[in-house]
Amino acid sequence: MTFLEIVFAVALLGILSATLLGAANSMLSRQKHEQRSLACCELANRLILQFLDDRDGMPDPSQPLTYGGDRYRWSLEESYLSFQPSRPPPAVEGRPQRGFENFRIFYVRVWLDDPSGSPGSVTPSVEVSRMYDVTAVFRNPDALEHMLGTEAGRRRITESSTGVPLGLPPLAPASNGGGERPRNNR
């Protein structure tokens, strides 16, 4: 072998190893990004369940959540839902028609708390939404047991079953000619 062949072989080996190391580094950084995205999904799901079971026990949104060694921020937004049925539901005699005014939707957004704040970085984040019925007091027996164990939970059960917030008088019928009660928007 000549000296020139050895130089070309070493150069080719260097190029090949640099390519392999770059590909391995790219795969590892992509795996870390996917793990952080999965952690965002997990935290969003846990926040949804906690919101449905115990709104008063939600963590402080101004403080980051630690999960898997990383810190995450989150926000929650709740709004009313409006439905437009394609056809009116059939009337069942003896059973009142149930509207959709008790349904709400909330959005939970979770993102990685990036301390570098670099504008070009792609930060893992997720937004999850969930529709729920405000008249459904609890989701499962564990949630009911927890609600019965706290004052706020017992108040929520009582308010939901009576339709009247505790400490407030019931709403009087409106005198708008239609005989409708004003809505209690909380």
Task: Evaluate if pTM is beyond 0.85.
Answer: no
Alpha carbon distance 68, 152 (integer Å) = 31
Residues 128 and 104 in one domain: yes
pLDDT value, residue 148: 78
Residues 23 and 107 in one domain: yes
Residues 79 and 140 in one domain: no
Q: Is the pLDDT of residue 11 over 90?
A: yes
Q: How many Cα atoms occupy the beta-carbon half-sphere of 149 within 13 Å?
A: 9
Residue 81, classed as helix, strand or coil, is coil
pLDDT value, residue 105: 86
Alpha carbon distance 37, 127 (integer Å) = 11
- Identify the domain containing residue 147 by its residue range: 135-164
Alpha carbon distance 120, 13 (integer Å) = 34
What percent of the chain has a predicted confidence (pLDDT) above 90?
A: 28
Residues 109 and 145 in one domain: no
Please indicate, yes or no, if residue 147 is contained in any of the structural domains: yes
Residues 129 and 158 in one domain: no
Alpha carbon distance 146, 156 (integer Å) = 12
Q: Is the pLDDT of residue 176 over 60?
A: no
How many angstroms separate the most distant Cα atoms in the chain? 105
For helices 141-148 and 3-53, angle between their N-to-C axes, nearest 10 degrees: 60
Residues 112 and 160 in one domain: no
Return the residue matching tokens 């260097």. Answer: 14
Sheet holding 70-80, edge to edge: 65-67, 70-80, 103-112, 125-133
Residues 58 and 140 in one domain: no
- Is the Cβ–Cβ distance between 128 and 88 less than 8 Å? no
DSSP 168: S
pLDDT digits (tens, 9 = 90+) for 147-168: 778 787 777 777 766 665 554 4
